[in-house]
Amino acid sequence: MSLVEGLSHITLATSAIEKYEQCVEFYSTFGFQTISQNVPPNSSIVEMVQNRSEQEKLLHLFAKPPATPITLKIVLSKNATVNVAVPEDKDWRLEPVSIAVVSKNIESVISILDSSNLCYKKYTYPGFDHSYHFEISPDLVHIEIYTHDPLNNLICFSNKPFPFDKTLHPVSPVKPSMLSPSDNKPKFTKKRIGLLTSGGDSSGMNAAVRSIVRVAISRGCEAYAIYEGYEGLVQGGDMIKKFSWSDVRGYLSIGGTLIRTARCQSFREHKGRLEAAYNLIKNGIDALIVCGGDGTLTGADTLRSEWSDLTKELIQTGKLTAEEVVPHANLTIVGIVCSIDNDMAKTDITIGAVTSLHRICEAVDSISSTAFSHSRAFVIEVMGRHCGWLALMAAISTGADYVFIPERPPEANKWKKEMLESLERPIKCDDIKKLLLDAKIDTRVTTLGHIQRGGRPCVYDRNLGVEAVEAVLRATPDTPSPMISVRENKIMSEPLMEAVELTHQVTEAIAEKNFRRAMELRDPEFAQGFNSYLSTAYMKNKASLQQNHSLRIGIIHIGAPAGGMNAATRAAVRVAINHGHKPIAIYNGFSGLLQENVHELNWLDVDDWSSKGGSELGTNKAEADNLGLIAYQLQKQGINALLLIGGFEAYTSLIKLNNARDNYPAFCIPMVCIPATISNNVPGTEFSLGCDTSLNAIVDSCDAIKQSASASRRRVFVVEVQGGHCGYLAVMSGLAVGATNIYAPEYGLSLETLQEDVNHLIRRFGADKKSTSSGRLFLRNESVSSTYTTNVIANIIKTEGKGLFDSRTSILGHIQQGGAPSPMDRIRAKKFAVECVSFLEKHAKFSGSSGNSKYPKVYTKDKESAAVIGITGAQVVCTPVIDLQSDTDFECRKSKKAWWLNVKPLVELLSKWGYSDSEPIEEDMNICGDSIGPE
């Protein structure tokens, strides 16, 4: 790896003596030699550290030209920060690398690592440089070794002759055959990636196009947009256009697809695919990222499977020469599933599905008020083809009274005679309307139609396109075409045709009326969602539990309001009633409990709570402090199970109640907390209720602000968002709105950072054409710095801009709590609530005594009986609150673990890497041999 020109050395710092010595030994093992150190005579390292002075040692790697000699400065300092190693379950190739090592003898590197018992990961590639169109050596196997140095810096060793910087730009490879005699400069062709959108449009396609284009450019490739899907691929010419960094500016907030989509009958025929192959080769494209449904992705894989025969035919017919075809001997295909139906197997979600669910819920929420006003029944028809995901999730989110889905149609014996014929064919809205009219219920039918496709994409659908370029660069001629999928909240690749085949099996099972098989083929979350829906939609005639095993479940809201609180309460109440328990509402938090402001809730009390924001029970930030009085009231009200719904205050209250069990038997009951806070700062879960609602509220506001900034041309907005000392809202909303940078407590904020951002703005606005320059956004967390306030940052930007641009501020405030909860928060709320009732039942140990006994009816002190429920991956888990305390930063009121911390580099990559209207900057880099440099 080479150094940026002008950089004299690399500094590695630690505050631990042992780590300092280990670091020196580590790099010495790989050939670095000590050339100086600053230890005074007769002074030990320990003495220097105690005296707060720094110890440093310079290590030098000597190299012969053209390799670059490198110097490392190893520093022992009290002020050094501690790095965190990349977890082993991650793909280390996708993580930021601190230092990259190029070595011709990679086997010796492996031998050293093995002998030192160091953990490392090895990746092998065939002898082809995937960034450029030339073969290094047909027999050479490229190897990358990733490991950590003693300071937890991620190090990459490679035998690849021309490595590139993953975060900045490629190093131009040099071969003697590529040098021109006249200018002696390397001539090479960057890898060209084509992308198209096909089939039905879905919101989020434009966000995916933006991500693909910008990641491709940042990885040293060229991106070509193919207009109107396969039709543009067949026609060629102006339908295939090279995209620059600025061509996708503004794409994030626009629904549909700006590069358009169309049905193409000609591509289904051999002649059409032959034309497509010709146009790809003529434009130098040998990788294709295809966004669409199963039909679109199947067509792409067909093109790849026929590629060899198509290219031979093009040569034989004289349309192309062998010299033109040889550099494109293989076609790489990567699929991104874009479909509102969410009907693709091997992925939890598809681009566009969540936005479509937003549109449906907005429509149903509006219709509900009319239904109530006129005592009228409404039958809503939604899209989804052979997949019931949209209908089911909309039913869960809106509290629908009945849902019809292909995977589980209604049973014949539950319907009146007039409906029996409809069971022989797909059930139509008019059939259901007829039944309701026969029952003398005023009924209307509403078919939402294509309104479900359109509109601005929600937050979830804006963040799923980044992995596609990495999949292109990893692909080899022998690997199956990959499909980008989301599994357990992780973006990964799955074999494309395996997913398509499983998807077709579901359709076939439904056609054969094998509905059990169809449900089994859906992901487990689908079946769980259906069961949870049933548990809250229909009231059972008889309680499932005997009276002496009935619980009085207290439900209390604590902390600031958050979207989903009411939805969780509704679900918990109905599940509890169906299980024979009594749900007891505690109004206005613990202060309401002390005032005996409690009430038993019935089925209809919570009927319309799914779509309501805020807290119907009332909530405040008062924690459980008056433990004696709280224990007295719990005992007086007969509450023997407790469900807390709220933020960090609810979490700490649960800790206090659990810790006081030895003194107060009233707390020796099962207790569980559902995290509900927009800040997403409660340990034990990757997502809290309310954070998705808040993100969408922030993004809605920022989209409007960005529009204002763009209309004013040369304007920068600094937007302040909430979150306390947790930067989740700033980071994730920054990614969704295309912020230039985000300022969050986890990363800190300094004058140096502000200066870098100002310099970036000067370059960007200076390169923009005055008539087309658009505005920029910076997102600042409210607690990132007491010095660099929102106004101070805006003033610095305006002053340093010197008239090139001005700045404005926007403090969003409590608008971030949102109105109606988002569908994702409603779905999570129901999932949490159903699991919570099961948890309380499981840990309720009944004594079997009568009410006159001195022992309480329910008594448990097991640590597992006081827990926080949360999402980890795709699983709902209950973690004992005792086990979570070590993962808690109580001073900053947040978890020490944050899966989203690695998102910030992606925010900067997608918004800051390129700065001109043509191509992003590519700094001059030295080509190195066996040397080391920073990434």
Residue 85, C-beta contacts closer than 8 angstroms, at least 6 positions apart: 148, 152, 154
Q: Which two tokens stand for residue 881?
A: 């609150």
Convert 577-601 to b/e letters by CB count within 10 Å (16 or more is b): bbbbbbbbbbbbbbebbeeeebeeb
Burial label, 660 (beta-carbon count in 10 A; 0-12, 13-18, 19+) = middle
Could you give the CA distance from residue 854 to residue 392 in angstroms, rounded to a whole number? 48
Task: Determine if residue 128 is left, alpha or beta; phi over 0 gives left, psi from -120 to 50 gives alpha, anything else beta.
Answer: beta
Could you give the CA distance from residue 903 to residue 727 in angstroms, rounded to a whole number? 11
Count of beta carbons in the 10 Å neighbourhood of residue 310: 22
Nearest to 194 by CA among 178, 212, 170: 212
Could you give the CA distance from residue 204 to residue 703 in angstroms, rounded to a whole number? 15
Residue 666 sits at φ, ψ, to 5 deg, of -65, -20
Q: Which two tokens stand for residue 920?
A: 């992003």
Residue in 341, 343, 692, 703 annotated catalytic: 341
Amino acid occupying residue 61: L
Nearest to 809 by CA among 819, 796, 825: 796
Could you give the CA distance from residue 795 to residue 789 in angstroms, rounded to a whole number? 10
Distances (CA, A) of 906 to 225, 254, 350: 22, 20, 21
Cis omega (within 30 of 0) for bond into 920: no
| Interior angle at CA 711, CA 729 and CA 695, nearest 5 | 15
Could you give the CA distance from residue 702 to residue 721 in angstroms, rounded to a whole number? 10
Could you give the CA distance from residue 576 to residue 274 in angstroms, rounded to a whole number? 62
Count of beta carbons in the 10 Å neighbourhood of residue 411: 8
Assess contact for 898 and 685: CB atoms under 8 A.
Answer: no
Is 276 in a helix, a strand, or coil? helix
Could you give the CA distance from residue 822 to residue 459 in angstroms, rounded to a whole number? 10
Could you give the CA distance from residue 388 to residue 407 in angstroms, rounded to a whole number? 7
Assess contact for 740 and 798: CB atoms under 8 A.
Answer: no
Could you give the CA distance from residue 861 to residue 252 in angstroms, rounded to a whole number? 51
| CA atoms within 13 Å, Cβ hemisphere of 730 | 29
Could you give the CA distance from residue 757 to residue 805 in angstroms, rounded to a whole number? 13
Question: Distance between the two ends of the chain, CA-based, in angstroms?
Answer: 8
Nearest to 244 by CA among 268, 269, 210: 210
Q: Is the dihedral of CA 559, 564, 566, 568 positive or negative?
A: negative
Assess contact for 14 and 22: CB atoms under 8 A.
Answer: no
Nearest to 280 by CA among 196, 194, 221: 194
Amino acid occupying residue 908: E
Could you give the CA distance from residue 510 to residue 899 in angstroms, rounded to a whole number? 38
Nearest to 518 by CA among 395, 408, 389: 408
Assess contact for 276 and 232: CB atoms under 8 A.
Answer: no
- In DSSP terms, 56 is beta-bridged to 75
Look up 183 and say whether it is catalytic. Answer: no
Residue 794, C-beta contacts closer than 8 angstroms, at least 6 positions apart: 716, 718, 807, 808, 809
- Positions marked catalytic: 341
